[in-house]
């Protein structure tokens, strides 16, 4: 298996739909469709282009002490709606301010949505894709838009419900997407027993999470077992596997080697590295997570 390091740069966005406008002093200024927001980001410890207290935004997320994910949104524009539309390559979704500082999508994953679409379209066959920890479903919609049959799994019925809404709004209401609320370990084990296989598998596991029946997920403890299940679920003609990780004390090298160990014997190529967002008006990059991505060629 050939291995290379790369930078997974999410530069596939129309600037009117998403743009990283500035970052620094532990914060980032972003445009999501019609709204601009300020959020904390501990990796942005460089100097911003303009002082943070001069940034203009519709809302700002104030994190609780010692926790960058939990906190409260403070409206700076009283007329700013709670939910507003966005679009990526014809796929429609709604951004919304959540209590965990997110806005209903992980925009840096667009680098993988574009990759998946290109691989699916060039394969010349119908690809069966499994999207684990699928959140609100943008990867699932991107794959379905490219012609794949998709199984979307997330432990949150609410996230799956948003995904179904986005599918309908994107003209994919009748697309072959199964929306499943379940625990990833239990679901993949059942799929193995059923003899089901997939040509492409995408995983975006959290550092810690809970399943539909309060099952616990701990990244370092549970990932090896899940990767073993992923290998067992790959079809005889696999196309790609994408694995991303946030907020873990691992190198992308460790992540790639964990994945490649389970894909031994398949050949192909492994890319590993950081995912990052480009700034709109300069050459700076904001790192977001680590990634390992395998494809057959």
Q: Along the 297 residues of the chain, how does pLDDT read in single tens digits?
A: 899 999 999 999 999 999 999 999 999 999 999 999 999 999 999 999 999 999 999 999 998 766 656 789 999 999 999 999 999 999 999 999 998 889 999 999 999 999 999 999 999 999 999 999 999 999 999 999 999 999 999 999 999 999 999 999 999 999 999 999 999 999 999 999 999 999 999 999 988 877 777 788 788 889 999 999 999 999 999 999 999 999 888 899 999 999 999 999 999 999 999 999 999 999 999 999 999 999 998
pLDDT score for 103? 96
pLDDT score for 105? 96
pLDDT score for 68? 58
pLDDT score for 208? 82
pLDDT score for 65? 63
pLDDT score for 218? 85
Cβ contacts of 161 within 8 Å, gap of 6 or more: none
Residues 274 and 292: beta-carbon distance below 8 Å:
no
Interatomic CA distance for residues 112 and 296, integer angstroms: 16
Domains and CATH numbers, the chain: 2-10+105-295 (3.40.50.150), 18-96 (2.60.40.1180)
pLDDT score for 67? 62
Closest CA to 276 of 41, 39, 26: 41
H, E, C per residue of the chain: CEEEEEEEECCCCCCCCEEEEEEECCEEEEEECCEEEEEECCCCCCCCCCCHHHCCCCEEEEEECCEEEEEEEEECCCCCCCEEEEEECCEEEEEECCCCCCCCCCHHHHHHHHHHHHHHHHCCCCCEEEEECCCCCHHHHHHHHCCCEEEEEECCHHHHHHHHHHHHHCCCCCCCEEEEECCHHHHHHHHHHHCCCECEEEECCCCEEECCCCCEEEHHHHHHHHHHHHHHHECCCCCEEEEEECCCCCCHHHHHHHHHHHCCCCCCEEEEEEEEEEECCCCCEEEEEEEEEEECC
Residues 163 and 152: beta-carbon distance below 8 Å:
yes
| Angle made by CA atoms 216, 176, 87, in degrees to the nearest 5 | 80
Q: Which two tokens stand for residue 259?
A: 């994945």
């Amino acid at each position: 298996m050939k291995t290379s390091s790369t930078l997974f740069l999410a530069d596939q966005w129309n600037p009117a739909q998403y743009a990283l406008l500035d970052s620094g002093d532990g914060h980032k200024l972003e445009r999501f469709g019609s709204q601009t927001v300020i959020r904390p980001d501990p990796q942005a410890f460089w100097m911003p282009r303009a002082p943070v207290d001069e940034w203009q935004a519709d809302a700002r997320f104030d994190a609780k002490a010692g926790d960058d994910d939990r906190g409260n949104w403070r409206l700076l524009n009283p007329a700013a709606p709670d939910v507003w539309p966005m679009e990526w390559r014809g796929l429609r979704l709604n951004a919304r301010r959540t209590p965990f500082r997110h806005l209903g999508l992980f925009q840096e994953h667009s680098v993988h949505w574009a990759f998946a679409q290109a691989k699916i379209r060039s394969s010349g066959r119908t690809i069966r894709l499994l999207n684990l920890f699928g959140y609100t479903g943008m990867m699932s919609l991107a794959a379905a838009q490219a012609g794949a049959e998709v199984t979307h799994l997330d432990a949150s019925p609410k996230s799956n419900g948003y995904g179904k809404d986005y599918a309908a709004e994107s003209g994919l209401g009748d697309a072959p997407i199964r929306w499943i609320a379940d625990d990833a370990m239990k679901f993949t084990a059942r799929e193995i027993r059923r003899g089901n296989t997939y040509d492409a598998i995408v995983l975006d596991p959290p550092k810690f999470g809970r399943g539909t029946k309060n099952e616990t997920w701990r990244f370092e403890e549970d990932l090896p077992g899940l990767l073993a299940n992923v290998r067992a679920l790959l079809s005889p003609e696999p196309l790609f596997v994408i694995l991303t990780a946030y907020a873990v004390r691992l190198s992308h090298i460790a992540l790639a080697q964990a994945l490649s160990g389970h894909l031994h014997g398949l050949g192909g190529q492994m890319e590993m590295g950081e995912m990052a967002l480009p700034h709109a008006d300069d050459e700076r990059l904001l790192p977001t997570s680590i990634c390992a991505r395998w494809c057959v060629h």
